[in-house]
Amino acid sequence: MISTIKRRYTLDEYRAIEEKAEGRSEYRDGEIVLMPGGTIKHSRIGRNTLTYLTFALRDTQFEPINNDLRLWIPEYRRGVYPDVMAFDGEPQLNADRLDEVLNPILIVEVLSPSTADYDRQNKFRIYRSIPSFSEYLLVEQDEPFVERYRKQDQGWLLSEFTGLEVSIPLDSVGIELPMAEIYRGVVFEENSFD
């Protein structure tokens, strides 16, 4: 039996690779993990969510950002790219890095078949180490369904939202996000969520 040794990368090596890379990869404490490409549904949902938040939060202290900005999670030595993040005030940069932030209050992930379990479990556990983080949305691509987790004194409270007629209260930023806006232009296959 032949065993292979995975190469471990320093954070500086990862950052240098990421600056030149055409695709994105996460940094997981020495391991570089390539991120899969998205679908048209995934892209529309991420764009729609960011567009609505940008419009609704204009003239407030909250700022939504797209997935071009890396979130650094010091406790786990992870660098990740959430689909959408929102900040209360100015994003806190990681040291002198202009491409890494530390302090989102809201994170939105659009679920993909290849990453849904990771987003719900390990990634959520890692996100919970961020002191400012207080609200998490997991958005399904193939049906109008969103899971919202809100930080409470006793832990995290899950609420589920189904259908295009409802809105999601976002306590972290003080607005409601209509499901119809999240899924604007998204075509669902007939019976895709039976």
Element (H, E) at 42: helix 40-56
Residue 115 has a pLDDT of 84
Residue 3 has a pLDDT of 46
Residue 191 has a pLDDT of 57
| Ordered DSSP codes for 46-115 | HHHHHHHHHHHTTTSSEEEE-TTSEEEEGGGTEEE--SEEEEESSPPBSTT-SSEE---SEEEEE--TTT
Residue 22 has a pLDDT of 80
What whole-number distance in Å separates Cα of residue 91 and Cα of residue 107?
Answer: 13
User: If you average pLDDT over every residue of the chain, what do you get?
Assistant: 92
pLDDT confidence band for 113 (50 / 70 / 90): confident
pTM higher than 0.75 for the full model? yes
Number of other residues whose CB lies within 10 A of the CB of residue 5: 5
Task: Please report, for the chain, how many H helices and E strands are present, in that order.
Answer: 5, 13
Assess contact for 47 and 184: CB atoms under 8 A: no
- Mind listing the pLDDT tens digit for each residue in 36-84? 777 899 999 999 999 999 999 999 999 999 998 999 999 999 999 999 9
Residue linked to tokens 């919202």: 148
- What structural domains and CATH numbers belong to the chain? 37-182 (3.90.1570.10)
In eight-state DSSP terms, residue 134 is: -
- Mind listing the pLDDT tens digit for each residue in 150-194? 999 999 999 999 999 999 999 999 999 999 999 999 999 875 554
What whole-number distance in Å separates Cα of residue 80 and Cα of residue 123?
Answer: 9
What whole-number distance in Å separates Cα of residue 143 and Cα of residue 188?
Answer: 7
